[in-house]
Amino acid sequence: MLVQDMARALLLAAAAFVLTLFVGAWWVRFARQHKLGKQIRLDGPQSHLTKMGTPTMGGVMIVSTVLVLTVLFNLVDRWSMLLPLAVMVSFAVLGGLDDWLTLTKSQSKTYGFTVRYKFLLMLAIAFIASLALYLPKPFGLEHDGLVQIPFVGERNIGVWFIPIATLFIVFISNAVNITDGLDSLAGWNLTMAFGAYGVMTFLAEPRLTNLMALCFTLVGACAAFLWYNAHPAQVFMGDLGSLALGAVLAVVALQSQQWLLLPVVGIIFVVEAFSTLIQTGYFKWTKRRYGEGRRIFKMAPLHHHFELLGWSQVQVTQRFVLIGTVAAMVGISLAITFARPSPGTERAGTPPTVMVEQAGE
């Protein structure tokens, strides 16, 4: 049974890779014909100006492939998969609308949604997802606030799970979006992160085989996207892809109860997001205090800082991916080594974590 579950997951990964390649070829042609070209920041590194007009919204090739394969092969009698699919599609629609508004320049200076409006929409979707995770059947997956804490084991944080999970989904989604600024950078780190959670869910007790299959489907789709996103990129992920994949990564981490390890597994996403928050906060604080805004980094997010230090785009991407790969291995190691059963669950039988996989199915 163990071998069959892994074989199914790997076949789904291979199928996702092949299908995404075909969808990607069509999307690149379609985007070029309809002039769905990316707008580039004029205040960014000058080397990025050559990317102006490159087709965007490439995340549609990943989202559509994962949706189709999961519905066909990993949904019937596995209804807990509805939640990550719903979150992925919801954030994809939000990101796709933002991309479209940016392309049509309907918002004059800001383009797309305003930051506040976009953030509120993301919060609303994430809040509904958090309720679905926490609430008992038939309203949710009966997660009950469980979390695996490294060095400690399983603990229940109760109703606090809802606001924490909501902010967690929004933060990770935005972090992936911020990271998606260099060719292949977000794609590679998403591939590593989903692969890490695929391994974690396979080795969990009990094994979360359906969640594992979803993770490896995402791995295959993200890997195929890199075929077209390799430097120099033929297509960009866009908000459609980065917001959707960041959100579904967060939901996968929450469903597996290993969400505390996502800052390790996705260290590049976290560092990129915090570099932007630190830069923005410090600039505003110094402007109020000294009348002139000051910066810690040459430019945020962090990958732009290294570009301005003289690193090429390929060097930044490769080095960040190497760090992300090592971080993913460390995350898997922590999940395996320090997971402990809850008090009173050492006896023979099924531990409480089984509800995460079986609830709603």
> What digits encode the pLDDT tens for the residues 34-83?
888 766 555 555 555 556 668 889 999 999 999 999 999 999 878 899 99
The pLDDT score that the predictor gives to residue 109 is 47
Core vs surface per residue 245-261: b (16+ CB within 10 A) or e? bbbbbbbbbbbbbbbbb
- Tokens for 161, please give them: 């799970």
Q: What is the pLDDT of residue 45?
A: 58
In angstroms, the CA 282 to CA 178 distance is 18
Arithmetic mean of pLDDT, 185-198: 98
Task: Round to whole Å and give the CA distance between 276 and 302.
Answer: 7
Give 105's contacts (C-beta < 8 A, 6+ positions apart). Answer: 39, 111
The mean pLDDT of 242-265, rounded to a whole number, is 97
Structure tokens at 332: 């898997």
Whether residue 96 is predicted with pLDDT greater than 50 in this model: the reply is yes
Confirm whether residue 189 is marked as ligand binding. no
- CA distances (Å), origin 1, targets 4, 6, 147, 183, 188: 5, 9, 27, 39, 31
Please check the confidence at residue 357 and state whether its pLDDT lies above 70: no
Mean pLDDT score, 112-134: 92
Q: Which helix (H) or strand (E) holds 21?
A: helix 2-33
pLDDT at 153 over 90: no
For the chain, percent of residues with pLDDT exceeding 70? 86
CB-CB neighbours of 228 under 10 Å:
22
Q: Are 102 and 111 in contact (CB under 8 A)?
A: yes
**C-alpha pair distances (Å), 82 with each of 89, 141, 221, 351:** 10, 10, 18, 23
The per-residue pLDDT for 138 is: 73
β-pairing, 153-156 vs 146-149, is antiparallel
How confident is residue 105, by pLDDT bands cut at 50, 70 and 90?
A: low
Mean pLDDT of 69-98: 94
Give CA–CA dist 129/163, Å, rounded: 11
Residue of 217, 205, 221 whose CA lies nearest to 345: 205
Taking each helix axis from N to C end, the angle separating 161-179 and 115-134, rounded to the nearest 10 degrees, works out to: 130
Amino acid letter, 59: G
Provide the pLDDT for residue 52.
65
Q: Is 184's pLDDT higher than 80? A: yes
Find out whether 177 is annotated in a ligand binding site.
yes
Half-sphere exposure of 285 (CA within 13 A, CB side): 8
Q: How far is CA 255 from CA 64, 114, 148, 250, 356, in A?
A: 22, 31, 11, 9, 6
3-class DSSP state for residue 35? coil
3-state SS assignment for residue 156:
strand
Scored b (16 or more CB within 10 A) or e, 173-193 reads bbbbbbbbbbbbbbbbbbbbb
Output the pTM of the full model: 0.89
Q: If we measure between CA atoms, which residue out of 139, 178, 145 comes closest to residue 164?
A: 145
Average pLDDT value for the chain: 87
CB of 235 closer than 8 Å to CB of 29: no
As beta bridge partners, residue 147 has 155
